[in-house]
Amino acid sequence: MAAFHTGLTSVTFRQKSAAQIAALAAEAGLEGIEWGGDVHVPPGDTAAAASAARLTREAGLCVTSYGSYYHALPQEDFAPVLRSAAALGAPVVRIWAGDRPWEQLSEAERETLAASVRADARDAARGGIALSFEYHRGTATQTRAGALALLEAVGEPNVRTYWQPNPDITQGEQLAEIDCLLPYLSHIHVFTWTGANIRHPLAEGEARWREYLSAIRRAGGSRFLLMEFVRDDSEADFLADAAVLRRWAEEENQKGESRP
């Protein structure tokens, strides 16, 4: 079984229609799409979800996940998110871990967040759906310590975490994050950024990404490498980046197959 598959997050091209995104992902030779909940598949709009699922299938691709913007906060309702995920046929719902770093939360706030995610995870499990945290600054998964603490506090087998590089920390710190989170790793958001969120061609980050992928491969299993954002929101840059990503995935999978 291949360790890495390739895909696209629909939020990469918020300005395009779902049909255009499915066609572009197929043209790029990718395997799947994570459909975003902000534009293309709004929570509760099951007709939009079913349409995106159909377009994905017709393009010869799979739905990797539902990229929601649900933060598991007390004022939010998870039910519409779950309905859309089911209509989309998404095996995973990407959720956000609150709206502040774990280190800034009181003990009561930590318990409330964990309890909310735990209840949501149990609801999702009844439909065979997993939850996975966005690994992101400004949330409880901003640091590896916070992410691990939250995952352990939730304690549900269908809750995992994405990972993506943080341009504000060192390469050594990035690799330490991966190593810490290996047992919980889900899909990976892929991009090459430098400080201040400056976007670069994916190939400029090859040396760094080769180290990330080698480390991630140790987790075993398979996961999607999901392209997220490209320089200037350009189709040409996207297609070039997709070719790079496919090459990385193929070469890394070959390395895995050649190991005894």
Q: Spell out the domain ranges in the chain.
A: 4-258
Q: What percentage of the chain has pLDDT greater than the value 90?
A: 96
Instruction: Provide the pLDDT for residue 97.
Output: 98
Nearest alpha carbon to residue 224 among 82, 64, 18, 47: 64
pLDDT digits (tens, 9 = 90+) for 83-100: 999 999 999 999 999 999
Q: Is 178 within 8 Å of 212 (Cβ atoms)? A: yes
Q: Is 70 within 8 Å of 78 (Cβ atoms)? A: yes
Residue 256 — pLDDT band, cuts 50, 70, 90? confident
Residue 257 — pLDDT band, cuts 50, 70, 90? confident
Distance in angstroms (rounded) separating the CA atoms of residues 25 and 225: 13
Residue 1 — pLDDT band, cuts 50, 70, 90? low
Which one is the CATH code of 4-258: 3.30.450.20, 3.20.20.150, 3.30.1330.10, 3.40.50.11540?
3.20.20.150
25 alpha-carbon distance from chain centroid: 16
Q: Is 244 within 8 Å of 207 (Cβ atoms)? A: no
What are the residues whose beta carbons fall under 8 Å from the beta carbon of 101, sequence distance 6 or more?
138, 139, 140, 142, 143, 146
Distance in angstroms (rounded) separating the CA atoms of residues 90 and 137: 25
pTM of the full predicted structure?
0.96
Residue 195 — pLDDT band, cuts 50, 70, 90? confident
pLDDT higher than threshold 70 for residue 82: yes
Mean pLDDT of 146-158: 98
